[in-house]
Chains A and B, each alone.
Chain A
Amino acid sequence: MKRKKFTENVFFNTFKILTFIVVSIAISLILFIIGNGIPVLSLDFLINPPINGMMAGGISSAIAGTLMLMILTVIFSLPLGIGAAIFLSEYTEKVDSRIIRIIRLAINNLAGVPSIVYGLLGLGLFVLFLQLKFSILSASLTLSFLTLPVIIAASEEALKNVPMEYREASLALGASKLETIKNIVLPSAIPGILTACILGLSRAAGETAPLLMTGAAYYLPEFTGNIFKQFMALSTHIFFMATQSPNPEATRPIQYGTVTVLLVLVLSMNMLAIILRSYYRRRLK
């Protein structure tokens, strides 16, 4: 018995050490990036465009491009994602269960399609076939496909969390199914849908590979805001600066600054989503 206890301790302590190693690597990497990035950050860095062929200046055009991409992406994918979630959580009993199963299979598979493959679809469908050219529009349409599975999953969870009694009470009062969804289910699910929206935004902000094929430009100091034109984004700016620029070593500080801005943007949204979700899970229980 003593020996068994000893074996158990060896295993449990190994697992514990491994877990703490993984966690501390993660934390130290984030601190390493932010520690190197903070000294670079200033208001000037955030509000000025890159100059001298990106050797100096700020990142305002990349920030503007990323924000625009995030907003457009969510404008396209949020309504569709919520619509799909409503259908999957409220209407399943009205349709052949095989159709539902195929749709679910498709959504699960879409979630696992590599982002670079979405890039190929964006290039083939939006850039070339629909003649939208390399543009913010092509890129955000591509990203909206990519974020759809995330938004559907989060919205569906939000709707599932609304207690059945709410629906039954509304239907018993004579409201139609759609009225019940519109007046009762959706309002109760708003924190959860907000979570879905934030997750979509954060996903769009961090994506890189699909942008390379749908319209991200290496260097465009002027942000036009024109959705039919090419753009700079934070994520692609990091990639271009770190690997394609003439002297990557010389611009390391700018790179650290850019990575920090992107990291803070994405992580704060993710944290907000986690907090919101734990809030509404508790409230509806």
Chain B
Amino acid sequence: MKKRGERPIESLLFFSAFLALIILSLIFLFLVSEALPIFWLISPLDFLLGREWMPASFTEPSYGILPLILGTFLVVVTAIVIAVPIGIACAIYLSEVADNRLKELLKPLLEILAGIPSVVYGFIALVFLSGIVHTIFNTTYRLNALNGGLILALMIMPTIITISEDAINSVPREFKEASLAMGATRWETIRIITLPAAKSGITVGVMLGLGRAVGETMAVMMATGNSPLVTFDIFRSIQTMTATIAIEMGEVVFGSPHYHALFAVGLILFLITFAINLIADVAISRLGVRRR
């Protein structure tokens, strides 16, 4: 029975849910409209592949973001290479090997780790981790891509572990029991039955970790030294796309080419993370179909 005055409230409820879509569209709209003017000055191809990022130069500013893309690529690949295998190993340990009491203790701890603010990770990378990396690898630059990649690996590990652990846990018990009954060992069962069955869920975890790594700002900004170089050397200082926006937006003249170029960097960042999220979303929906 609908009572008087209920319809407006229900419309309000619908509006607040719909707001998510509005915000997403607003982000896209603002990024595109503020980024567009830079492409009247420089072609999209020159922007993407230009090897020099010197937007503040008075005489001859250049807006090539290849060094920024490479910077992001280097720290993200380092982080993924470290965090994915270790993260999956931890997830297997937590869900299949560890006893329940230990698990009850470790899982909240991971959740707490996930809640540490990124600026705190950045601070740790700056004052603590950089010293260790410098001592072990005897690097020329105290702040470098490796330092950023390591701190990033630590940051995304909770995401990968928690989601992979859930995925492994939700593989039906019958699958494992059937395999064990056939005489397979626990490890064989995990390798041949459980992991393949949990593949979609683990993919979701890795994708969300990847998205977080690409978009992370404070930690990599404080860890990597911020020099926009075209390099594949993880022992050198680099500058990521996110750090560029955060550092330079504070000094830029609003409406200048530099301002628009920074929005264009933001647009590319948004498109990359959007694509990663879509892949995760597809994996999630596949998960739902299988379980039903």
Contacts and interface: CB of A to CB of B under 8 A. Distances in A.
Interface in B197-212: 208, 211-212
Contacts of A238: 119-120, 123
A275 B230 CA distance: 48
B174 interface: no
Given A114-B215, A114-B269, A262 B10 contact: no
Contact of B2 (A23, A109, A176): A176
Given A33-B124, A112-B273, A117 B27 contact: yes
Nearest to B208: A112
Interface string B257-280: 000001100100110011011101
A207 B111 CA distance: 17
Interface string B5-33: 01001101111111111011011001100
B133 interface: no
Given A114-B215, A178-B9, A103 B245 contact: no
B128 A84 contact: no
Contacts of B10: 91, 178
Interface stretch (B46-54, B55-63, B73-81, B182-190): B182-190
Contacts of A186: none
Nearest to B24: A106
A25 B92 CA distance: 19
Interface residues of A, number: 86
Contact of A259 (B123, B218, B266): B123
Interface string A202-215: 10011111001100
Interface stretch (B37-45, B134-142, B231-239, B246-254): B246-254
Interface in A88-115: 88, 91, 95, 102-103, 105-110, 112-115
Contacts of A243: 126, 222
A87 B123 contact: no
Nearest to A86: B13
Contact of B126 (A202, A242, A267): A242
A163 to B, nearest CB: 21
Q: Which of A29, A106, A149, A209 has the most chain B CB atoms inside 10 A of its CB?
A: A209
A13 to B, nearest CB: 9
Interface in B115-136: 115-120, 122-124, 126-128
12 contacts: A7-B187, A8-B186, A12-B186, A15-B89, A81-B16, A106-B20, A109-B278, A120-B263, A121-B27, A208-B117, A213-B249, A274-B112
Interface of A: 4-5, 7-8, 11-12, 14-16, 18-19, 22-23, 25-27, 29-30, 32-33, 79-84, 86-88, 91, 95, 102-103, 105-110, 112-121, 123-125, 128, 145, 148-149, 152, 174, 176-179, 202, 205-209, 212-213, 235-236, 238-239, 242-243, 252, 255, 259, 262-263, 266-267, 270-271, 274
